[in-house]
Structure 1
Amino acid sequence: MSVILGIDLGTSSVKGMLLDSFRGVLAVESGEYDVKIPREGYAEQEPEQWWEETKKVLFKLRDGNREAFGQIEAVGFSGQMHGIVLTDENGIPLRPAILWLDQRSKKELGQIYRKIDLEKMGNIFRNRVYTGFGFPSLIWVREHEPEILKRTRWVMMPKDFIRYKMTGKIASDVTDASSTAIFHTAERTWAYDTIREFGLPAEIFPPCGESMDIAGYVTKECERECGLKEGIPVVYGAGDQQAQSIGNGICEEGKIICNIGTGGQISTYIKEPVYDKKLRTHTFCHSIDYGYTIYGATLCSGMSLKWLKDKILRIDDFDQLSQMAGEIAPGSEGLIYLPYLTGERTPHMDPCAKGMFAGLTLGHDRRHIVRAVMEGVTMSLRDSLTIFRELGIKCDTMIASGGGAKSHEWLQMQADIFHKKVIVCEVNEQACLGACILAGKGCGIFDSAKQAAERFVSFGDKVYEPNPENEKLYDEQYERFRALYRNNKEWMVN
């Protein structure tokens, strides 16, 4: 028996999982934190708060599972992507982390696009540069906080900071680094020519490893702070999309996952760095077999529902929202929602895009609004599937993940809107499980990630089948949904 610790540093919480190599998941704990918005368009968090909450999670795991906690043999990571942490030579953060949903770098995007056209972006990055990605965020720091950049010794991704606190080693992994959009994705290395072209110091970009390689070992200081034994090997880990993919059993081509969390993604594993030539989707390095992941991203999926719950309806829990949506017929009686509250990536790549409701009448009540939000988020994710089909990526069955997989109503919507069968993984915290599998393979506990996924990933008996009547209704509504942005994007510009 071997026990593995997996840590997932998300946008709204950090989770920790203990996985027994034979018995499966032993325990999961979590700690929460907020996204700080000091100005409109900004999104920040304090790296030290991540560490404090991570330690609390580890204490909870230790206190509830003392024997297993003392038997941990490997540590793995998953983490929110695209954001940056700037530290001095001692690893001390110089400013709050700039997150993936930050939009402050709109003007800096203009600088980048004047020097790099879409063809070159595709050839090097395999991605369109977008606000919230590490590249434009660093340009913003160069322009607006030059003294911070001068003092910067290292730029890290969020989860890298936590791994540094455990091991004392500063590094990143190729999955997270490729999400900064200043990375040569096909060559799996930093795009140093671009870095120098834009006047960024090349030496601040840390060495990158593969996700399952050992990055370091738990230090004595970490043992004093959070109880983990000194000397436990720690692997580099992966971005949350790649880790979650493994935690849903996707270790080869032919399977697609729909994740609805704070943001939403449609993603799949690919062997070669295939990418959309219009750069409407993202192609990043994957964490297994030197492969890649291609995905489309909706920025404000679960966050749309949280906004509605907290700021408009003042409702306590998400289960109540799902119940309300179930009281309304598919199509929300013509009410349509654009989930572009923080701009949008796939397919528009437009940081100025705005959210909106269309078709409101006196006959609508808050239940219609809830259902329309769920439907609008799902239609936005359908945009990604449309592009996948153009690229020849096909799949009959969708694996649902995240908060959107916990609502019967939302799962049926996905089946109807996507025209696909939908199944759900029985393990709730797939990113944590993926982090555990990466660590287990990297430290010799598992022979392969695929073998481990086959052992621990199982799916419920329920299969959500598309309803033909609903499919037809949603096809018509989807065309109106797409027209809303097309007909209104001019006034959305800031």
Structure 2
Amino acid sequence: MTRYLVGIDNGSQSTKVSILDERGGVHAQGRVPLRPDDTPRPGVVEHPGDDLWDSVAAACRAAVADFHGDPADIAGVGLCTIRFCRAMLRADGSLAQPVQSWMDARVGRPFAAETGDTAWVTTSSGYLTHRLTGRFVDTAANYRGMWPIDTATWRWAAGDEPYRATGMSRGQLFELVDPGEVLGTVTAAASAATGLPEGLPVVATANDKAVEALGCGLREPSTLLLSLGTYIAGMTVGDRHVDDARDFWTNFGAEPGRHLYETGGIRRGMWTVSWFRDLLGVPAADAAAVAGVSVEDVLNAEADRVPAGSDGLLTVLDWLAPADAGFRKGTMLGFDVRHGRAHVYRSILEGIAMTMRDNAGAMAAELGTGVDRVVVSGGGASSETMMRIVADVFGLPAVRIAGDSAAGRGAAICAAVATGVHPSFDDAVAAMVTERDRHEPEKAHTDLYDALRAVHRDVRSHTDDLYRRTHAIVG
């Protein structure tokens, strides 16, 4: 009998649900976009209505409808959700107010009740766990930031001070379990909403980046994961929690006792690519449609004809300024008569790669580790152009893993371990993660990018003062 696992990947832009077999083969998928965030005032970014649950339920229904196997052979479902969200629930587990996005300024501040009926404070994974199982329990590995969590024990902190500092009482917090443990089972109501079998075990995973790393097969510090999503990050794994690191930070991993080391990232990373695509408007979309391709396909083909280095056009990706430098803006500099839209597009991709090469190099140096390959995941990994640029900028093989949703695969791996489909995380990864392809670097391009990176990393030192001045004038 073939056993199947469901992986739920509730991301920043959509929910993707995959049904995989025990060897990692994908047998069904469902994808439902999230609605645009509500931003009623500065600093407030909320998921509208009950959008997280609605998208999960709809994507599950689509995946189950696409599945031609026997639902009785599904062993479990792993739940992975967006990290750094905050959900406030009534005593019965319903939403007391909209879920706060990771981009909402309030999630970085101590909790302050905004409604009189808030009984629980939890994460997006805690809320969705309750919708699926009816239980007030959550994965320990999705709590970093403004939470009273003890990073050494993966449990709620002892003493009063952590609760005073975060504005939460112990009685408002869910019980915690480790990744790869069962949170509960699908209720009759959740089964009716999702199509998942009633009684199916729901399994804890971790924060979405750690689950993505697991789904990409990261087991050794020598592998770097470059996650090309709305937020772009570089990651590797290890067995120790590193406090007070300078060039990276430590998060919980998707396996008990494992840790995820994460570089500084790019906010609105691949969003910047979408932004540029959309600027081209209806004519570009219509022309691509006539040719039977996407606008991205057209831009990638054009960018492939642009020399490495984009004829000197440099892009620094501060389209969403960091909190500690709110005056910053995105920068494109070095235009001349040679440059067209293909140069702009390629320069954005090169800016992403050069930024993350520097960030990953700083992390590796501080950890005292080397990197021998780069696994690329996320929407940006679908671009052959981007894969070649990553290989050339890093001077390392750029690898893609088979399958579309790395976080969904990682969630299914957790479910496989919890339900005994595989005896360990090592066994599950070995069975369910397969390299799809790799791109080797061209030395001449790597040498060119090494020289350009030295210029690229100096841009902010020259533009910061200019942006402070313009920010004071126009914001």
Provide TM-score, normalisation by structure 1. Answer: 0.86
Alignment CA distance shift 1:390-1:47 (3 Å): farther
Post-superposition offset of 1:399: 0.9
Write the mapping of 1:36-185 to structure 2, written as runs, cut at 5 A.
36=37, 37-46=39-48, 48-102=50-104, 104=105, 134-136=107-109, 138-139=110-111, 142=112, 146-148=113-115, 150-178=116-144, 180=146, 182-185=148-151
Asked if 1:332 is matched to 2:332, the reply is no
Give the aligned residue type for 2:74.
I
Give the aligned residue type for 2:383.
S
Give the aligned residue type for 2:133.
T
Write the mapping of 1:241-256 to structure 2, written as runs, cut at 5 A.
241-256=209-224
Provide TM-score, normalisation by structure 2. Answer: 0.89
Aligned match of 2:355: 380
Aligned match of 1:466: 441
Alpha-carbon contact 1:257-1:400 (below 8 Å) kept = yes
Partner of 1:155, secondary structure, is strand
Aligned match of 1:29: 30
Post-superposition offset of 1:22: 4.5
Quote the Cα distance in structure 1 between the aligned partners of 2:397 and 2:163. Answer: 44
Alignment CA distance shift 1:68-1:38 (3 Å): farther
Indicate the percent of aligned positions where both proteins have the same amino acid: 23
Alpha-carbon contact 1:275-1:283 (below 8 Å) kept = yes
Quote the Cα distance in structure 1 between the aligned partners of 2:266 and 2:454. Answer: 18
Unaligned runs of 5+ in 1: 106-133
Quote the Cα distance in structure 2 between the aligned partners of 1:199 and 1:289. Answer: 27
Deviations 1:16-72 (A, max 9, x none): 111122572211211102332334554321361222222222222222225433432
Quote the Cα distance in structure 1 between the aligned partners of 2:93 and 2:140. Answer: 20
Alpha-carbon contact 2:313-2:332 (below 8 Å) kept = yes
Quote the Cα distance in structure 2 between the aligned partners of 1:68 and 1:261. Answer: 33
Give the aligned residue type for 1:245.
A
Deviations 1:376-418 (A, max 9, x none): 1112212321222322121111111112221111111111211
Aligned match of 2:288: none
Partner of 2:26, secondary structure, is strand
Pick from 160, 171, 174 the counterpart of residue 203 of structure 1. Answer: 171
Deviations 1:108-160 (A, max 9, x none): xxxxxxxxxxxxxxxxxxxxxxxxxx342x45xx2xxx433x53222222233
Alignment CA distance shift 1:215-1:198 (3 Å): closer
Give the aligned residue type for 1:293.
L
Give the aligned residue type for 2:182.
I
Pick from 430, 433, 436 the counterpart of residue 409 of structure 2. Answer: 433
Partner of 2:20, secondary structure, is strand
Aligned match of 1:260: 228
Quote the Cα distance in structure 1 between the aligned partners of 2:49 and 2:411. Answer: 20
Quote the Cα distance in structure 1 between the aligned partners of 2:426 and 2:145. Answer: 24
Alpha-carbon contact 2:71-2:197 (below 8 Å) kept = no
Asked if 1:218 is matched to 2:193, the reply is no
How much is the aligned-residue C-alpha RMSD, in angstroms? 2.2
Alpha-carbon contact 2:314-2:351 (below 8 Å) kept = yes
Quote the Cα distance in structure 1 between the aligned partners of 2:91 and 2:83. Answer: 23
Post-superposition offset of 1:11: 0.4
Post-superposition offset of 1:312: 4.9
Post-superposition offset of 1:284: 0.8
Deviations 1:82-115 (A, max 9, x none): 111111112222222222233x35xxxxxxxxxx
Aligned match of 1:353: 328
Post-superposition offset of 1:193: 2.3
Quote the Cα distance in structure 2 between the aligned partners of 1:283 and 1:70. Answer: 39
Alpha-carbon contact 2:413-2:432 (below 8 Å) kept = no
Deviations 1:256-310 (A, max 9, x none): 21110111111011001125532x4220111214110101122221111111112
Partner of 1:307, secondary structure, is helix
Aligned match of 2:299: 321
Give the aligned residue type for 1:268.
T
Aligned match of 2:255: 288
Alignment CA distance shift 1:43-1:332 (3 Å): farther
Alignment CA distance shift 1:488-1:188 (3 Å): same
Give the aligned residue type for 1:7.
I
Quote the Cα distance in structure 2 between the aligned partners of 1:344 and 1:481. Answer: 18
Deviations 1:291-332 (A, max 9, x none): 101011222211111111124555543222322321211111
Aligned match of 1:190: 156
Give the aligned residue type for 2:70.
A
Alpha-carbon contact 1:47-1:158 (below 8 Å) kept = no
Quote the Cα distance in structure 1 between the aligned partners of 2:41 and 2:312. Answer: 35
Quote the Cα distance in structure 2 between the aligned partners of 1:488 and 1:416. Answer: 27
Alpha-carbon contact 1:268-1:294 (below 8 Å) kept = yes
Alignment CA distance shift 1:190-1:333 (3 Å): farther
Quote the Cα distance in structure 1 between the aligned partners of 2:406 and 2:76. Answer: 18
Give the aligned residue type for 2:47.
Q
Partner of 2:5, secondary structure, is strand
Post-superposition offset of 1:219: 0.9
Alpha-carbon contact 1:47-1:161 (below 8 Å) kept = no
Alignment CA distance shift 1:54-1:270 (3 Å): same
Quote the Cα distance in structure 2 between the aligned partners of 1:340 and 1:190. Answer: 35
Aligned match of 1:364: 339
Give the aligned residue type for 2:205.
G
Partner of 2:456, secondary structure, is helix
Partner of 1:236, secondary structure, is strand
Partner of 2:88, secondary structure, is strand
Pick from 423, 426, 430 the counterpart of residue 454 of structure 1. Answer: 430
Partner of 1:44, secondary structure, is coil
Name the count of aligned residue pairs: 453
Give the aligned residue type for 2:94.
I
Quote the Cα distance in structure 1 between the aligned partners of 2:144 and 2:369. Answer: 22
Partner of 1:288, secondary structure, is coil
